[in-house]
Amino acid sequence: MQYRNLGLFIDGEWIDARERRTIAVLNPSNGTELGRLPVANAEDIDHAVAAAVRGFEVWSEKSAYERAGILQRAAQLLRERTQRIAELVCLEQGKPLADAVGEVKNLADIVAWDAEEGRRIYGRTIPSRIPKHSLATVREPIGPVAAFAPWNYPALLPLRKISAILAAGCSVVLKPAEETPATSFEVVEAFIEAGVPAAAINVVYGDPARTSEQLIAHPEIRAITFTGSTAVGRQLAKLCGQYLKKCVMELGGHAPVIIMDDVPDVEELAVATAYRKFKNASQGCVNPSRYFVHESIFDRFVDAFVAKTRTLRVGDAADPGVDVGPLMHERRVQAMQSLTEDALACGATLRCGGRAPDLPGYFWEPTVLTHVPASARLMNEEIFGPIVPFNPFSDLDAVIAEANRLEYGLAAYAFTRSLETARYLARKLRAGMIGLNTYSLGVPDSIASPETPFGGIKASGFGREGGCEGLEAFLETKLISEYSHQ
C-alpha cells in the first residue's frame, strides 16, 4: 500500500518537517525506511496544549448526547476503514495481516461503548440534615489530558485512550509511538472527520523523556494516561506526583500460566497455547509468559507445544501464511539473545529456536526452554518476545507462591477442570485480570473487550481502561450545596 506523508497534528493542521528534526520510520519486516517523521520541539508542544485548552472549552460545552453522536459517527468510519488501518499496522508494526485485522476490528466497538458511557455520567443527590437545603454531586470533565501510547498495539491503544478521554468531555494531546505514526494518524482522522473539534485532538512526536516531562509539567494538562514499561511508568508517576496530576498507569507484566493435571485434552491445549503465545511475536503486556505445568503431564504438554511451535512460519508480516512476524527493533532481537543465553547459562534446556533466523528485518525464532531456574532473568524480567520458559510443579500452593513472587500483577492464567480449583486459583493469584480456562480477557483476537476493565496491580500499574471504569480518571466530582430562602 502507499505510505502516507507524516507530520504533527496541532490545532487542526497537519504540520510537516519544515525546520524540524526528523527520524526514520522503518518497516520491521525488512528494515527499509518507510518515511521521515518530524519531531515536535518545545514550541510545538506548548502550541498543542494551548490548542487542547481551546478544544476543551468547545468540546466540554457540547451535550453528552451530541458528543455521543459524533463518537458514533467515528465508530462507523473506523468500521469502514478496518482493512486500511490493518494494512498500516502490518506495515509499521510487523503484525501479520490477519492478526492486524483482529486488532483493528474491535476499535469501532470501543468507541461505540464509550459514546454510550459518556451519556451515563451520573451525579447523585444526598439527603441534607438542614431544612430547605439540598446537596448534590455532579461529574465534570477534568480538562486537557496528555496520553502516551506504545507501538505493540498501534491502533488499539491510542484509540482506547482517545475514545475514553473524548467520551468524558475532555480534550487530548496524544503522543503515540514514533515507530507507528501512520496508524495513529488514521485513527485520529476518523474522529476529526466525524466532527470532533480539531483543537480537541492534537498529536505530537519527539524524544519520549523530554516530551513527557514537558507535557506533565504543563499547568493546563490535568490528567495523564500512559501505557508502557514499568520502568518508564515509575518515572512518569513520580512526575505526576510532583505536579499533582491524576494518572492511569498501564504497565508491564510477566503473566504466569498454571496448567493442572486434570485438563481434558493435554495436546489440544498445548497447540492452542502455542498459537496464543506467539501472536504479535509475543509483544504484549498481558501475554502469557511463565508456564508452570503439572509434572504428571509436563512432558506430553511440552512435546506437543514444541511440535506445534516448529510448524509456525516466521517471516515478513505482509506474506500470506506467516504466523510470527518481526520484533519491533534490533534491540529487541538483542534482548532475546541475552535472555536466552542467560537462561542456558543458569542451566535451562533449549528445546527449539534460540537464534535469529537468516532474514532481513528484526526476527527471533520462537524459542522454548524448560527447567528454567527461578534465578534466570527470563523468570524475573518482562520478556516481550517469542521465548517460552516451562517448569514442572507438583504442589499447588508452592506454584501459586512462585506465580505471585514477582512485582508484576497485570494478568494470570490457569487451566483446570475442577471448579473448586479454579475458584481457589482466582482467589489466590495476585493480578488485575485472571483468565480461567481461556487466554482471552474479552473479545477473541483482541486484548480486551470494550465493556471490561483492563489494568493491573502492584508494579503493573493502577487505574483502568475500558468498561465503566475507563472514564473515571478523566472526571472530577463537584459537590453543590444549596440553601433555598423560599
Instruction: Please say whether the beta carbons of 199 and 172 come within 8 A.
Output: no
User: How far is Cα 70 from Cα 59, in angstroms, rounded to an integer?
Assistant: 11
Torsion angle, alpha carbons of 174, 178, 180, 183, to 10: 30
Superfamily of the domain at 255-449: Aldehyde Dehydrogenase; Chain A, domain 2 (3.40.309.10)
For residue 372, what is its C-alpha cell? 528454567
Percent of the chain with pLDDT over 90: 95
The model's confidence at residue 471, banded by pLDDT at 50, 70 and 90, is very high
The pLDDT of residue 2 is 75
**Mapping DSSP to helix (H, G, I), strand (E, B) and coil, where does residue 485 land?**
coil
Using alpha carbons only, give the angle 474, 148, 29 rounded to the nearest 5 degrees: 145
pLDDT of residue 443: 62
Query: Pick from 287, 285, 283, 290: which is nearest to 336 by CA?
Result: 283
Candidate list 285, 365, 382, 465, residue with the active-site label = 285
Collapsed DSSP state (helix, strand, coil) of residue 30: coil
Which residues does 307 contact at the CB level (< 8 Å), separation at least 6? none
pLDDT at 458: 97
- Give the span between the Cα atoms of 170 and 57, in whole angstroms: 9
Q: Would you list the domain boundaries of the chain?
A: 8-251+461-482, 255-449
What is the identity of the amino acid at 423?
R
Of the candidates 362, 388, 383, the one whose C-alpha atom is nearest the C-alpha of residue 252 is 383
Phi and psi at residue 462, to the nearest 5°: -155, 160
Mean pLDDT of 94-102: 95
Q: Residue 116 catalytic?
A: no
Q: Write out pLDDT tens, residues 223-233.
A: 999 999 999 99
Above 90 in pLDDT, residue 130? yes
pTM score, whole prediction: 0.96
Provide CB contacts within 8 A for 214, sequence distance 6+: 42, 45, 46
Give pLDDT, residue 445. 59
What pLDDT, on a 0 to 100 scale, did the predictor assign at position 280? 95
Residue 447 has pLDDT above 80, yes or no: no
pLDDT for the residue 444: 60
Return the pLDDT at 486. 77
Catalytic residue among 92, 117, 250, 382: 250
- Examine the pLDDT at 446 and tell me if it is beyond 90: no
Q: Is the separation of the CB atoms in 113 and 66 below 8 Å?
A: no
Instruction: Judge whether 8-251+461-482 and 255-449 match in fold.
Output: no
How large is the average pLDDT for residues 324-345? Answer: 97
pLDDT score of 18: 84
pLDDT recorded at residue 19 = 84
Distance CA 153, CA 174 (A): 15
Give residue 1's pLDDT band: very low, low, confident or very high (50, 70, 90): low
pLDDT at 459: 97
Answer whether residue 345 shows pLDDT above 90. Answer: yes
Judge whether 247 counts as a catalytic residue. Answer: no
Is residue 449 predicted with pLDDT exceeding 90?
no
How many Cα atoms within 13 Å fall on the side-chain side of residue 230?
20
Class of domain 8-251+461-482: alpha beta
Question: CA nearest 201: which of 176, 226, 229, 233?
Answer: 176
What are 249-301's pLDDT values in tens digits? 999 999 999 999 999 999 999 999 999 999 999 999 999 999 999 999 999 99
